[in-house]
Structure 1
Amino acid sequence: MAEPKSVAIVMDGNRRWAKKNNLPVSQGHRAGIESLTKIVKHAKNIGVKHLVVYAFSTENWNRKQFEVNALMNLINFGADTKLNELINNEVKLNFIGELDALPTSSRKAIDKCKESTKQFEGFTLTVAVNYGGIWDFINTITKAKKIETPLNEENLISLTSFGNEIDLFIRTGGEKRLSNFLLPNIAYAELFFTETLWPDFSETDLDHILAEYKLRKRRFGE
């Protein structure tokens, strides 16, 4: 197979990485941002067109309040420390999820990221924040009703928040579950699960997965 055009990643393992290294959880999440920045640039360089990452799920609100606050602040931190680097690499930023429920400062940071990179084409980093696959299904149905379009297999994916099929789904951190992420979009995706914690996930790790991906034959039910 050719290189995947659309790749989704569940970035799992930041908290365990922090614990393993005797660091605060917030430092684990910041280390995760460093890993994401490296993977974004590498994915773009090898021909990936869309990278979608799971940053904050609708279920994450159930975590302890201090960690929820840290994750929300992480959006601001990323915009402050990494936006210029992404601009220099001509990365277009997109965000999906129930964004209206986020704190005002987080929404402003998201708007800044989108506005500052809207001119770029060729590679898009989509960050899922306050996102859930079931929420996306409901939102898609609501959208179809609003525009009076009957849902079918041909238009379902295009009406989702991301709007494209996923070719390759990766989850770091050792868990083997989808965690309510891009459920309709990954219908025919190749799935890869790695024990590597997200802050330790490197360009080489991605290359190894891509090499195995190329050996697989996508049958699409045939």
Structure 2
Amino acid sequence: MNAAKHIAIIMDGNGRWAELQGKKRVKGHEAGAKIVKEITTYCSNNEEIERLTLYAFSTENWKRPRLEVEFLMKLLDNYLKNELEVYLKNNVRFEPIGDIRAFSKSLQKTIITVQEKTAHCDGLVQSLALNYGAQDEIVRAVNKLRHTESDITAQMLSNALDCNHNVDMLIRTGGDKRLSNFLLWQAAYAELFFVDTLWPDFSIKELEKIIKKFKKVERRFGGLK
């Protein structure tokens, strides 16, 4: 039976959720942040799950309206500061992925502080993909290796990525069926699950159903069983 050791989620649908309720898009992001906490806490209590990687802010999200981007930055800063205690209580290690140099100095400090203060935790690893794009990640990894004298191997490239852990199960909420530049290398053999549920409505019960489906999938990794 398959083990969902590394779960990755594209948390889509916050803005649409708010608009359907006649609210401003930012209210959807606030509601979505609460679901992040619930799902992370659940995963931290599931001994099978080792890593949870969440697509929080992509390299393309800078194209959104300025006020929405500014709100997302404040929401992220507040979320991390408030969640630090929860991370520690649940033995969760926070490991951001992406190029955080584009963020304000104060937000960078918050991200690094939470990472450092949870570094000793040896339970679930929660990664937030922040200013993350898989193509950008791969380009940065190649640049790290460009002066290597020997031929670059797949393992060398994998080790140079922000995340060098293969994804077992990738979920996208919100109805769209695309990867949107998320963990393209790591998800090469991930099982993909696309659900119509908007992220603020996503629940632990729905995650459990998806995990149950995942366990029944025959994973061959290009070979024969």
Q: TM-score, normalised by structure 2?
A: 0.94
Question: How many Å separate the matches in 2 of 1:64 and 1:39?
Answer: 28
Task: Tell me the CA shift for residue 77 of structure 1.
Answer: 1.4
User: Superposed, which structure 2 residues align to 1:1-222 within 5 Å?
Assistant: 1-46=1-46, 47-146=48-147, 148=149, 150-222=151-223
Deviations 1:109-163 (A, max 9, x none): 1012112211101310011110111101101111222555632233332221111
Question: How many Å separate the matches in 2 of 1:174 and 1:20?
Answer: 15
Q: Is the Cα–Cα contact under 8 Å of residues 134 and 180 in structure 1 kept in the other structure?
A: yes
Task: Tell me the CA shift for residue 30 of structure 1.
Answer: 1.3
Q: Is the Cα–Cα contact under 8 Å of residues 75 and 110 in structure 1 kept in the other structure?
A: no
| Percent pairwise identity | 39
Question: How many Å separate the matches in 1 of 2:114 and 2:150?
Answer: 31
Aligned AA (1:151): I
Task: Tell me the CA shift for residue 177 of structure 1.
Answer: 0.4
Q: Secondary structure at the match of 1:51?
A: strand
- Do the aligned partners of residues 80 and 98 (structure 1) sit closer, same or farther apart at CA in structure 2, a change above 3 Å counting? same
Q: Is the Cα–Cα contact under 8 Å of residues 144 and 150 in structure 1 kept in the other structure?
A: no
The number of residue pairs the alignment matches comes to 222
Ranges in structure 2 where 5+ consecutive residues have no aligned partner: none
Q: Secondary structure at the match of 1:52?
A: strand
Q: TM-score, normalised by structure 1?
A: 0.95
Question: How many Å separate the matches in 2 of 1:40 and 1:92?
Answer: 11
How well do the aligned residues superpose, as a CA RMSD in angstroms? 1.3
Deviations 1:172-195 (A, max 9, x none): 000000000011100000000000
Ranges in structure 1 where 5+ consecutive residues have no aligned partner: none
- Do the aligned partners of residues 148 and 95 (structure 1) sit closer, same or farther apart at CA in structure 2, a change above 3 Å counting? farther
Question: How many Å separate the matches in 2 of 1:148 and 1:95?
Answer: 30
Task: Tell me the CA shift for residue 214 of structure 1.
Answer: 0.6
Q: Is the Cα–Cα contact under 8 Å of residues 2 and 217 in structure 2 kept in the other structure?
A: no
User: Which deviates more, 138-147 or 43-52?
Assistant: 138-147
- Do the aligned partners of residues 146 and 38 (structure 1) sit closer, same or farther apart at CA in structure 2, a change above 3 Å counting? farther
Question: How many Å separate the matches in 2 of 1:149 and 1:90?
Answer: 40
Question: How many Å separate the matches in 1 of 2:94 and 2:149?
Answer: 29
Deviations 1:7-42 (A, max 9, x none): 110000110111122222222111111101111111
Aligned AA (2:10): V
Task: Tell me the CA shift for residue 208 of structure 1.
Answer: 0.5
